[in-house]
């Protein structure tokens, strides 16, 4: 901190640290602007491969000029420090948002997804692949702008499509199957990662979970992602289809790049109603509660007010300083005033009338004086105070509203209580009925529940009920792992971690293992007609989904070309099997290979997708094609076998 890096960048504070570099907030002293300084750890600066990757990020992002990409201004070296000077985005990451909110409504999820795809689309069209898309690399500025950061694993599509070191770089939960299995990466690995991010925004959890990285890798390779609607009732099927398309395990089944996925996302949004866009996921945390929490730490803007006297001080009583003026003041110049005669009222003597007027004036002045003094005394002792209303055992929201209706301010503190339900008021400061200024502030002490909570036995409890029971006790529903069970109904809890009966503090996360039901083998329906295949799968207890695009295959048109999972795979009842239909065999025009040598003829045919067999005469074969089994210019199914016959010497 405080170092002037490269004679230009003054480091002011640390923003974040990762395995490869630390990001600092800094000031460019030449241009007088705030920026983010990404400094490689000195222990890695001696590794040429890491330095090359670091510099590659600067050069790659410098090629992009897009409002949703964090810009790179400069790259340099100062002694053992290798750094990037980047755009500073004041705000938070998408991971911070998900950690606070749990899950997002579809409208918010799409509002974040679309600028992410726009940024990646610009990279893909520039020939670059990000390769490490995840919520931590999505920045959301205080002004609402969404930007993609950390192109540290970026590769050029045309020159570096495999991991040169033999290792797979990236974050395991967001890696596409082909990255893990073959080490290959094109634009579709970013599409896959964006599908996983969308799933996480909609459901609040990752689609593939496990106790180890190996389990997560296995799930990526062998399991399709569960439709988000199974976790979010009422979620539109268009969003299920969008997630399924982006996260298809076969790369060719995904949109070709982020631009194509963005088009599909916008098309899906256009089909959704306002009600579908505003569905609240069960995993979402209440926004009102979050706002109430925020009032504890975010100060209100101070207004300009006159200072109030202390409770034991009386305010200045202006009425006590008034003096009764003389009834007949003398003239200002001291001279005697000549009195003019006044016509007397009938029946009253002039002296009596003046005396009566003086008495009335004196009485009115005395009454006003007494009222003024009495009002002042009342205000000092009673009028400026009110009493704290009874709000004990109310919910926090109701208690706050009750106090505000009385014109009182509210602060919130939290404490443990074995008797008062979590989220209810256990005490107030001042106490109920005590005096407080009419514009004073009451502190609510809200219960966090018991200081130690026993994890309940949730075995056999439906998932939604299990989450509710945990929240009611002050515990937090944690990660959810799904596994087969012959004994527990599908969608119900098998066990918890920590185990039932364990004692934990409030707000501790409890992981849930949820039943997928009894395992069922997936039947083989490849080659069957569409309806026959669907009927066979439904009879076995599965849901059926058809892929959007049919493919060329040896099977008849509209028959099943492939299924996912394949025959012999295991799913729970109610899980989905995806079927891809055949467009029939692809017909290809056969070229004329007559007179060519064997190698050239074979290459010409295999380049078009044919298999080739060579028929040689028994005696004295020559390396020249005499004939072919399918005539030149005719069409044959791609993948079929063509026989070429060689000339003989006789």
> Which residues are catalytically annotated?
132
Q: What radius of gyration do the chain's Cα atoms show?
A: 40
Question: Helices 258-271 and 106-125 meet at what angle, rounded to 10?
Answer: 150
DSSP assignment of 215-266 = HHHHHHHH-PPPPGGGTSTT--HHHHHHHHHHT-SSGGGS-SSHHHHHHHHH
Q: Is 393 left (phi over 0), alpha (psi -120 to 50) or beta?
A: left
Could you give phi then psi for residue 267, rounded to 5 degrees? Answer: -65, -40
Give the torsion through C-alpha atoms of 498, 503, 508, 509, to 10 deg: 20
What is the signed CA dihedral for 101, 103, 108, 109, rounded to 10 degrees? 140
Question: CA torsion sign, 459 to 461 to 467 to 472?
Answer: negative
Using the Cα atoms of residue 388, residue 390, residue 396 and residue 401 in order, give the sign of their dihedral: negative
Tell me the β-bridge partners of 286: none
d(CA 241, CA 229): 10
**Token pair belonging to 632:** 């030149």
d(CA 641, CA 638): 9
- Cα–Cα nearest to 593, from 620, 621, 626: 626
Tell me the three state secondary structure of residue 391.
coil
Burial class from Cβ neighbours inside 10 Å (0-12, 13-18, 19+) for residue 516 reads buried
Q: What's the first-to-final CA gap in the chain, in angstroms?
A: 91
Structure tokens at 242: 């969008």
Peptide bond preceding 505: is omega within 30 degrees of 0, i.e. cis? Answer: no
Class of residue 238 by CB neighbours under 10 A (exposed 0-12, middle 13-18, buried 19+): middle
The β-bridge partners of 579 are 546, 563
Residue written as token pair 């009342």: 378
- Determine the Cα–Cα distance for residues 65 and 68; give it in Å rounded to an integer: 9
Which residues are CB-contacts of 502 (< 8 A; sequence separation ≥ 6)?
454, 455
Q: What is the DSSP string of 444-505?
A: EEEE---SSEEPP--TT-BHHHHHHHHHHTT-EEEEEEEE--SSS-TTBEEEEESPTT-EE-
Phi, psi of 522 (to 5 degrees): -80, 125
Q: Are 26 and 10 within 8 A, CB to CB? A: yes
Q: Residue 483 and residue 490: Cα distance in Å, rounded?
A: 9
Q: What is the DSSP string of 32-85?
A: TEEEEEEEE-TTTTT-HHHHHHHHHHHHHHHT---TTB--EEEEEEETTEEEEE
Burial 578-592 (b: 16+ CB within 10 A, else e): bbbbbebbeebebbe
């Amino acid at each position: 901190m405080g170092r002037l890096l490269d004679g230009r960048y003054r480091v002011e504070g640390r923003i974040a640290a990762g395995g490869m570099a630390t990001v600092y907030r800094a000031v460019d002293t030449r241009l007088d602007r705030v920026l983010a300084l990404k400094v490689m750890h000195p222990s890695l600066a001696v590794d040429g491969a890491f330095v090359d990757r670091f510099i590659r990020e600067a050069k790659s992002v410098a090629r992009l000029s897009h409002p949703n990409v964090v810009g790179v201004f400069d790259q340099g070296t100062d002694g053992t420090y290798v750094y990037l000077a980047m755009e500073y985005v004041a705000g938070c990451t998408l991971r911070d948002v998900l950690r606070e909110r749990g899950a997002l409504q579809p409208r918010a999820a799409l509002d974040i997804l679309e600028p992410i795809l726009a940024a990646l689309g610009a990279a893909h069209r520039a020939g670059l692949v990000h390769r490490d898309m995840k919520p931590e690399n999505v920045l959301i500025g205080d002004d609402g702008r969404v930007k993609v950061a950390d192109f540290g694993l970026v590769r050029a599509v045309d020159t570096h499509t495999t991991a040169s070191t033999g290792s797979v770089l990236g974050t395991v939960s967001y890696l596409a199957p082909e990255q893990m299995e073959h080490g290959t990466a094109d634009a579709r690995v970013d599409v896959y990662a964006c599908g996983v991010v969308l799933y996480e925004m909609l459901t609040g959890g990752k689609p593939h979970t496990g106790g180890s990285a190996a389990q997560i890798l296995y799930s990526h390779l062998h399991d399709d992602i569960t439709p988000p609607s199974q976790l979010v009732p009422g979620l539109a099927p268009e969003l299920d289809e969008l997630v399924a398309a982006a996260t298809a395990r076969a790369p060719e089944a995904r949109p070709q790049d982020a631009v194509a996925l963005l088009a599909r996302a916008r098309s899906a949004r256009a089909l959704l109603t306002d009600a579908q866009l505003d569905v609240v996921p069960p995993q979402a945390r209440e926004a009102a509660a979050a706002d109430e929490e925020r009032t504890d730490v975010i100060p209100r803007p101070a207004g300009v007010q006159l200072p109030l006297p202390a409770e034991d001080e009386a305010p200045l009583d202006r009425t006590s300083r008034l003096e009764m003026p003389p009834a007949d003041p003398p003239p200002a110049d001291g001279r005697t005033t000549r009195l003019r005669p006044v016509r007397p009222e009938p029946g009253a003597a002039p002296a009596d009338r003046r005396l009566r007027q003086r008495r009335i004036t004196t009485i009115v002045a005395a009454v006003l004086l007494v009222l003024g003094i009495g009002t002042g005394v009342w205000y000092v002792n009673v009028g400026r105070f009110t009493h704290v209303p009874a709000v004990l055992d109310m919910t926090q929201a109701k208690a706050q509203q009750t106090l505000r209706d009385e014109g009182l301010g509210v602060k919130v503190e939290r404490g443990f209580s074995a008797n008062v339900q979590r989220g209810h008021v256990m005490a107030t400061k001042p106490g109920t009925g005590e005096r407080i200024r009419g514009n004073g502030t009451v502190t609510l002490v809200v219960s966090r529940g018991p200081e130690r909570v026993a994890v309940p036995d949730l075995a056999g409890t439906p998932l939604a009920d299990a989450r509710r029971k945990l929240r009611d006790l002050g515990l937090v529903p944690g990660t959810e792992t799904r596994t087969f069970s012959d004994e527990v109904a599908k969608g119900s809890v098998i066990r918890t971690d920590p185990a039932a009966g364990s004692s934990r503090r409030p707000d501790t996360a409890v992981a849930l293992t949820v039943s997928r039901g009894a395992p069922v083998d997936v039947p083989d329906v490849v080659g069957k007609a569409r309806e026959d295949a669907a009927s066979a799968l439904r009879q076995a207890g599965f849901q059926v989904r058809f892929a959007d695009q049919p493919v060329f295959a040896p099977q008849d048109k509209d028959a099943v070309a492939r299924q996912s999972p394949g025959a012999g795979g295991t799913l729970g009842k109610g899980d989905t099997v995806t079927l891809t239909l055949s467009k029939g065999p692809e017909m290809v025009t056969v070229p004329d290979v007559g007179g060519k040598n064997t190698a050239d003829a074979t290459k010409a045919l295999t380049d078009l997708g044919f298999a080739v067999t060579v028929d040689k005469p028994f005696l004295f074969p020559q390396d020249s094609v005499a004939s072919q089994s399918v005539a030149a210019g005719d069409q044959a199914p791609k993948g079929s076998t063509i026989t070429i016959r060689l000339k003989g010497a006789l």
